[in-house]
Amino acid sequence: MRILVIEDEPHLGAAVQEHVQQAGHTVDWFTTLEEARAALAAVHYDCLLLDLGLPDGNGRTLLREIRRTPSPLSILITTAENQTSDRIAGLSDGADDYLAKPYDLDELLARITAVGRRYRPLIDNRLMVGESEIDLERKRLTRKGQIIDLTAREWALLELLARRPGAICSRQQIEDALYNLEEEIDSNAIEVFVSRVRKKLGAEAIRTVRGRGYYLEQTGTP
């Protein structure tokens, strides 16, 4: 998933970014509402981790702005404001979950996964591609019954394609899924990752549509 973290505590923000990236997600981390709005305007995110007490305002203002229009963005509030009235207000404004500080980073990951399911109506989180099985729930690829190791970015690419089998994903969509805003992208980076995943998944599994992008050739469900 592509995740936006808005957290003004430097040590916590850095720890969240590192831990969530290690779990295979792409993470952008900013500290203000102004930066959050700019990032949301530039990139399609799957999940927003939103602190409330920020230098330029309350995160609930941004939350209400986002929820004024239909959006598949899942939003998890992470804040020190932990009164029952605070939680009710945040959830009423449109948050999908509420996690009080201090929190365990593994619990944060579990909650990210949980809220993400609400916006991903895939009937079965497993699908077959040739001789390979992709398990989106467990983040696992098996081929002929053997678990295939994937790097974080290889999995991010595979997950992006597997969430919409048969639908073309553009180069820009793939770049957004694999890289955060601060990273430079080599001109042939996407082709390299597609080639790597093809070798592990099966040469015919990922199809190229010249000038448009790539799509996953699904053959069924287990």
**CB within 8 Å of 28: residues ≥ 6 apart:** 2, 3, 4, 5, 39, 43, 45, 180, 181, 182
What pTM value is reported for the model? 0.66
Instruction: State whether residue 95 is helix, strand or coil.
Output: coil
pLDDT of residue 123: 46
Backbone CA torsion sign across 150, 134, 130, 132: positive
CA distance 28 to 5: 6
Instruction: State whether residue 131 is helix, strand or coil.
Output: coil
Instruction: State whether residue 77 is helix, strand or coil.
Output: strand
- Domains recognised in the chain with CATH numbers: 2-117 (3.40.50.2300), 126-216 (1.10.10.10)
Helices (H), 23-79: 33-42, 59-67
Average pLDDT along the chain, 222 residues, taken 10 residues at a time: 94 96 91 95 91 93 90 88 83 90 93 76 71 88 92 91 86 88 84 94 89 82 58
